């Protein structure tokens, strides 16, 4: 499995964070030795921030998280297990 190194991250970068076995969209707000501060993207009026280990972060790289039941014909699906499986288009019904 690929682990993100702290050197690969920068403040303001949009990322996906593995938070308790669920991927969450976030933005990096600080970087310290061994920890990275992220602000989760939520619908809450106040920002939700947390300090996490760099190895639970993956750069978003232009992808967005979408619940499986909201995927539609033509959407591209990308694996987030750390390996690059390429992009796969969803087939129609």
In this structure, what DSSP letter does residue 81 have? Answer: S
Q: 33 or 12: whose pLDDT is higher?
A: 12
Q: In terms of Cα–Cα distance, which of 48, 38, 46 is closest to 14? A: 38
Q: Helix, strand, or coil here: 6? A: helix
pLDDT band at 70 (very low <50, low <70, confident <90, very high): confident
Structure tokens at 18: 């593995």
Number of domains the chain is built from: 1
Quick check: is 1 in a domain? no
Quick check: is 71 in a domain? yes
Q: What CATH number is attached to the domain comprising 15? A: 2.30.30
Quick check: is 47 in a domain? yes
Host domain of residue 49: 6-89
Element (H, E) at 36: strand 35-40
65, pLDDT greater than 60: yes
Q: 65 or 17: whose pLDDT is higher?
A: 17
* Neighbour count for residue 26 (Cβ, 10 Å): 25
At residue 71, the pLDDT reads: 76
Structure tokens at 26: 């976030």
Quick check: is 42 in a domain? yes
pLDDT band at 24 (very low <50, low <70, confident <90, very high): confident
């Amino acid at each position: 499995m690929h682990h993100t190194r702290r050197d690969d991250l920068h403040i303001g970068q949009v990322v996906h964070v593995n938070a308790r076995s669920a991927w969450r969209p976030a933005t990096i707000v600080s970087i310290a030795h061994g920890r990275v501060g992220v602000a989760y993207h939520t619908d809450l009026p106040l920002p939700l921030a947390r300090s996490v280990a760099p190895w639970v972060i993956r750069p978003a790289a232009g992808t967005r998280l979408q619940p499986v039941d909201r995927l539609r014909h033509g959407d591209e699906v990308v694996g987030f297990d750390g390996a690059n499986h390429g992009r796969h288009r969803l087939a129609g019904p």
